Amino acid sequence: MLKIAKKIIGVLLALAVFSALAVSCSRTEPRILFGYIGLVYYQESWGQQERYTFFIIPEDEDGIENLADLYLYHDRAQLRWHVGSDDWVRYDRGGETWIGTRSIAVGAGETLPRGQFRAVLVNLGGERGERHFTFDAPATPRFPFPTLQISDGNYTVTSGYPVNRFVSYDEQGNFLGFLDIPALSGELRSLGLPTHARMVVLWAEDADHFTSAFTNAVPIR
């Protein structure tokens, strides 16, 4: 009888542990509620490099911390990009949490594919959720790559993009903020840059086509 009682207790303990695990580890797949892809041109010594910015609003009933991996596939081009939870960028806006990356790229000088993309979100339990996206930016830039020149306290921007902003950084390269520029040329002091700003980047944007361009940083002092 003692042996039988021990076996029964062992079975009950195993069931209790299993039930606890079932409660604490959800078997519900994560969801991608919304997402977007944007094309960014970056200035390189040999020309301009394309990169995609890719962000999603994820949902998992055990929270964002239960998410492990985010994949972006372009099945026709047989390409896959992976972003792990240790590497993705996370930010909150309008009560929603976004995760993603600004570094989707191919080889130097190569053009990223357009068309149909498939995003896959995986949580720590291995459950997967996916969603399809379409991104059809022009195959070639709509505008020439913009330029920024700074001399004797004055700036000159050459850009065909509808919106142009400065991104300011301190001496160590830490981000300080964004600043709309009212004209394509003028005095730097009229813009109200932070006093500890030491360099700026021109961010030119064509929001209607989810396309933008970033120049290299230019010293202002």
How confident is the model over 128-143, as pLDDT tens digits? 999 999 998 888 889 9
Predicted pLDDT of residue 27: 61
How confident is the model over 38-63, as pLDDT tens digits? 999 998 877 789 999 999 999 999 99
How confident is the model over 178-203, as pLDDT tens digits? 999 999 999 999 999 999 999 999 99
H-helix or E-strand spanning residue 56: strand 47-59
Q: Which fold has domain 31-135?
A: Immunoglobulin-like (2.60.40)
* Whole-angstrom distance, CA of residue 54 vs CA of residue 167: 20
CA 205 from centre of chain? 16
CATH for 147-219 is 2.60.40
| CB of 145 closer than 8 Å to CB of 48 | yes
CATH 2.60.40.10 location in the chain: 31-135
* Whole-angstrom distance, CA of residue 19 vs CA of residue 13: 10
User: Which residues are registered as beta bridge partners of 52?
Assistant: 39, 104
On the CB side of 215, how many CA atoms lie within 13 Å of its CA? 25
